[in-house]
Amino acid sequence: MDKLVIRGGRRISGSVTASGSKNSSLPIIASTLLTGNGTFTLHRIPDLKDIKTFTQLLHHLGAETTFADNTLKVTTDKVTSILAPYELVKKMRASIYVLGPLLARFGHARVSLPGGCAFGPRPIDLHLMAMEKLGAQITIETGFIDAVAPNGKLHGAHIDFPISSVGATGNALMAAVLAEGTTTISNAAAEPEIVTLCKFLIAMGASIKGTGTTELEIEGCQSLNATEFHNVFDRIEAGTLLAAAAITGGEITVNGVEPEQLKSVLKKFVHAGCSVETTKNSVTLKSSGKLLPTNITAKPYPAFPTDMQAQWIALMTQAEGTSHITDKIYHERFNHIPELNRLGANIEIRKNQALVHGPKTLSGTKVMSTDLRASASLVLAGLVADGTTEVLRVYHLDRGYEKIEVKLKSLGADINRETYKEF
Ligand code: EPU
């Protein structure tokens, strides 16, 4: 297994380019299943474990892919299987994204139920509700979702989501673009990853109104075509790199971003005492070396993202005072806290809120990754901790951060990947 060995105390400074977004790549790749016409060329796809797992799932269904220099080519004309097996779905919950496209194109999908999640319950009831509204008959047996569109076709409907869900909105969109008639989605997720999916589906020939809002209207069409597309930057990777500079008293420019998408996070960096400047496609953050406490509530976009919550808690361990960090999306997403406390942080958990009492001098030791963003928070803590921090089970981090240690090293960190044996 791999671990990251970090000798803390180096300032993170310099410039770096953000990778493509993992969470927009996944529904884009799933959408290629909507047509058998032509070959897709997808640029700025990050080289990540989750992308590999998803392309493995596509291969299983019969698709052909090549991947080089962050460009993924996908041909889906030979797709014949509609079965997403447990062995692949259990590796990645986002495999549920094949449900909508397979159902819309073939009138039938069988997708294994995703298993548990490291940070609390993550139901899929809203995905199923959306498919049923579009006319699918759903049965769940032997651990599989079996979804059938009577007469092979979904039909337009009104879908009103009781809560905002990125995944369910994505699945509803992918299914509705090939449904007969008009579909309206209320309380749709408006995250940049959904905006990117809408742009991609429109590039394939779909008709979608309301992109970027919580009310979407989709006019179903007969068929869609393959297209060439440039993926959006990864706003969570960018936010994590900015936090690396902020926590170490450094100065960083992250290029290749759209600052508007980082607005809620940049605002909090300013509240924390950092100076932030933006251009059309870059963000520069300068830390004064002194951090102020901040209160954060993670909620759907455009509010502060839950995927930056763990990293923000790590940052606030160095702020002078108490910060209140609340997660309203995943109430139990706090696996990083016991590990941060092992490094010397003073963080209390009260229901879905963390109270971070800073500043605390952290001292390096071995810590365990439990999920993707928890791992990122431990890396940030390691950058500022005295001595050596070993972040074990780095495979969680590798799911969502492209060459993170290479990027951090280029910015001045003393960080190395080593292999180890777990007893
Ligand atoms: N929810 C339901 N029922 C559903 C679906 C969601 O109750 O059928 C609830 C969830 O339990 C949660 C809320 O709705 O409380 C929002 O969840 P959402 O569906 O938006 O999450 P997701 O689509 O499963 C994506 C990202 C997550 C990110 C969340 C929230 C991908 C592949 N995953 O998950 O990213 O945290 O949106 O923004 O896009 C990560 O990258 O580390 C990660 C976990």
- Digit-coded pLDDT (tens) for 145-163: 999 999 999 999 999 999 9
Q: How confident is the model at residue 119 (pLDDT cuts 50, 70, 90)?
A: confident
> Is residue 186 domain-shared with residue 323, that is, in the same domain?
no
> Is residue 11 domain-shared with residue 52, that is, in the same domain?
no
Share of the chain above pLDDT 90, in %: 97
- Measure 333 CA to ligand 1 centroid, in angstroms: 12
pLDDT of residue 413: 98
Q: Is the pLDDT of residue 117 over 80?
A: no
Q: Is the pLDDT of residue 378 over 90?
A: yes
**pLDDT (tens digit per residue) in 296-345:** 999 999 999 999 999 999 999 999 999 999 999 999 999 999 999 999 99
> Is residue 166 domain-shared with residue 80, that is, in the same domain?
yes
> Is residue 336 domain-shared with residue 401, that is, in the same domain?
yes
Looking at per-residue confidence, does 53 or 422 come out higher?
53
Q: How confident is the model at residue 27 (pLDDT cuts 50, 70, 90)?
A: very high
Atom of ligand 1 nearest to the CA of 97: 32
Atom of ligand 1 nearest to the CA of 26: 32
Instruction: State the catalytic residues.
Output: 117
**Residue 396 DSSP symbol:** H
> Is residue 97 domain-shared with residue 169, that is, in the same domain?
yes
Structure tokens at 1: 């297994």
> Is residue 196 domain-shared with residue 245, that is, in the same domain?
no
Domain CATH number, residue 287: 3.65.10.10
Q: Is 309 in the pocket of ligand 1 (CB under 6 A)?
A: no
Q: Is the pLDDT of residue 422 over 90?
A: no
Share of the chain above pLDDT 70, in %: 100
pLDDT of residue 264: 98
Average pLDDT, the chain: 97
Tokens 């080593």 locate to 418
> Is residue 8 domain-shared with residue 90, that is, in the same domain?
no
Q: Is the pLDDT of residue 116 over 90?
A: no
**pLDDT (tens digit per residue) in 28-46:** 999 999 999 999 999 999 9
pLDDT of residue 73: 98
Q: How confident is the model at residue 423 (pLDDT cuts 50, 70, 90)?
A: confident
Q: In this structure, which amino acid lies at residue 190?
A: A
Q: How confident is the model at residue 115 (pLDDT cuts 50, 70, 90)?
A: confident
The beta strand positions in 308-405, using DSSP E, are 321-327, 346-350, 353-358, 366-368, 388-392
Instruction: Measure the CA–CA gap between 20 and 257, rounded to whole angstroms.
Output: 10
Q: Among 230, 246, 271, which residue terminates a domain? A: 230
> Is residue 193 domain-shared with residue 242, that is, in the same domain?
no
Residue 128 region, left (φ>0) first, then alpha (ψ -120 to 50), else beta?
A: alpha
**pTM here?**
0.98
**Burial call 231-258: b when 16+ CB within 10 Å, e when fewer:** bbbbbbbbbbbbbbbbbbbbbbbbebbb
> Is residue 219 domain-shared with residue 258, that is, in the same domain?
no
User: In terms of residues, how long is the chain?
Assistant: 423
Domain count, the chain: 2
Q: Structural domain of residue 200, as residue ranges?
A: 22-230
- Measure 167 CA to ligand 1 centroid, in angstroms: 6
> Is residue 26 domain-shared with residue 143, that is, in the same domain?
yes
- Nearest C-alpha neighbor of 234 from the set 25, 396, 378, 27: 25
**Burial call 51-87: b when 16+ CB within 10 Å, e when fewer:** bebbbebbebbbbebeeeebebbbbbeebeebebbbe
User: Any idea which of 115-119, 138-142, 213-217 has the lowest mean pLDDT?
Assistant: 115-119
Q: Is 376 in the pocket of ligand 1 (CB under 6 A)?
A: no
pLDDT of residue 120: 79
